[in-house]
Structure 1
Amino acid sequence: MTSTTAWIRPLSEAAAGVRTARWDVDGSCCRTSRDLFTEWATRLGFPDHFGRNWDAFRDCLHDAVSNGGAEAVCHDAPTSPAVVVREAGDLLTDEPDHALAILLFILSEAAGDDSTAPRLLLLLDDTPDRLSHLAQRMTEAGFPPVSFQAHS
C-alpha cells in the first residue's frame, strides 16, 4: 500500500511561524506498540478506558483530532492539530516492520485525503541520519514521506 504522505514532515521543514495546535510525543518512549500506546495516551489525553490496542488507538486519535487539539497548545486561529515526535527514529524499532505500517495507516486516516489541508500533521524531529533511516522504513511500509525524499 502506498499513500499520499504530505501530512508527514520533518520538523525542520515545518513553515516558520505556523500556528498549530500540537502535542509533543517522545519517540524514545515508543519503541514497542505497548509503550507507544502509553506515551500517546498520556500526551494526547486519551480517556482512562483506552484499550491499548490499535483499534482503540484509532478511535481515541480520531476523537483527539476531531476536538481540534483542545488538550494541546491552542492558538487564536483554527489550524490542523499536529503531533511532534521527538527522537522519531526510535518509533516502533523493537516491533516487527508491519507495526509501523499499522501506525502510519491509522495516522493517514486521521490526516484525511486532502494533502493541501490535512486534518492532522505528523512532524518528525531527530538527527538527519536517523530521519533518513526512518524515511526508508516508512517507504518500506508503503508510506514514503514526500518531503523527506530529497533528503533520503
Structure 2
Amino acid sequence: MRTINGIDEFESLIGQELGSSEWLTMDQDAINAFADVTGDHQWIHVDEERAAEGPYGATIVHGFFTLALIPKFSSEVFTIEGVAIRVNYGLNKVRFLQPVVVGSRLRGKVEVKDVIRGEKGTQVILKQTIEIDGQERPACIAEVVTLLVE
C-alpha cells in the first residue's frame, strides 16, 4: 500500500497510476446481501435459475454494488496522511462497461486525474477502474471526487 503525504504529493502524482487492489471474488451470497440492503431484487441478480436462462447464463452483480466496492479497493491501494478531513464529495462520471457474472474476480485500479485547490478544501479526482479478471474491458470506470481539508 502506498502512503501519500498531503496535498502537495497528490499534485505531483497527477496522471500517474497509484496501483491495484487485491482480487475479490463476487459470490452469490454477497450479491444477495446487497440486494437485501438496497431492495433491488431484480431477477438478473438474485434468481439463479431464471438468470441461467438469461443473456449472461448466470446472475450478475449489481452495477451499484460494483461501484460501492471502490472504497474497499482504494483502501488496499493507498492511504493519505497530513490531512485533517477526507470525505466523499461526489462522482463526475460513471460508466458500467461490462456485466460482472457471479464468480468473477474484481480488482480496483486507481489513477490520479486531477487536484483542484479551493476555499473549502482540495478536490482530488481519482479515475477508478474496476477490472474483471481475464476480461479486456473493465466492469466500471468512475471519476471519484474526494474532498481533503488540511
Higher helix share: 1
Higher strand share: 2
Structure scoring higher RCO (CA < 8 A, sep ≥ 6) equals: 1
Verify same fold: TM over 0.5.
no
Q: Which has the larger radius of gyration?
A: 2
TM-score under structure 1 length normalisation: 0.23
TM-score under structure 2 length normalisation: 0.23
